[in-house]
Amino acid sequence: MYCRNCGEQISEQAEICIHCGVRAKNASVEDKPNWGVNLITLCCVPLVGLIIFFVWKNEKPVAAKSALMFFFINLGVIILFYIAMLLLGLLSS
Ligand SMILES: [Zn+2]
């Protein structure tokens, strides 16, 4: 096959182009939302989603964006929770 970046011929099994160092098209990296990470981000540690996004954004953009989305969902829920608590506090006083 040919490298999608520089056009040089590379091995069918090659994961990274030996000419330019760019990852080959049919690399074996599985890029899909990682539900384990998404679940941890959503229920326990939202920061995990943010860290995963920066770690994966080049190699696994789909999984990275999914993790980031759950980070923002969690962030939104936390903010709504605090607003609700604030409003309840104001109402009860
Ligand atoms: Zn190349």
In the reported structure, the alpha carbon of residue 29 is separated from the centroid of ligand 1 by a whole-number distance in angstroms of 18
In the reported structure, the alpha carbon of residue 24 is separated from the centroid of ligand 1 by a whole-number distance in angstroms of 8
Q: CA 3 to CA 20: how far, in whole Å?
A: 9
In the reported structure, the alpha carbon of residue 84 is separated from the centroid of ligand 1 by a whole-number distance in angstroms of 54
Note whether 20 and 45 are same-domain residues: no
Q: Which of 38, 9, 14 is nearest to 28 (CA)?
A: 14
Residue 39 domain boundaries: 35-92
Note whether 43 and 80 are same-domain residues: yes
Q: What pLDDT digit, counting tens, does each position of 10-45 carry?
A: 888 888 889 999 887 655 567 889 999 999 998 888
User: What percentage of the chain carries pLDDT values higher than 70?
Assistant: 94
Note whether 7 and 43 are same-domain residues: no
Q: CA 46 to CA 8: how far, in whole Å?
A: 42
Note whether 47 and 88 are same-domain residues: yes
> Number of folded domains in the chain?
2
Specify the pTM: 0.62
User: What percentage of the chain carries pLDDT values higher than 90?
Assistant: 56
Spatial neighbors of 42 by CB under 8 A, at least 6 apart, are: 49, 70, 73, 74
Note whether 80 and 48 are same-domain residues: yes
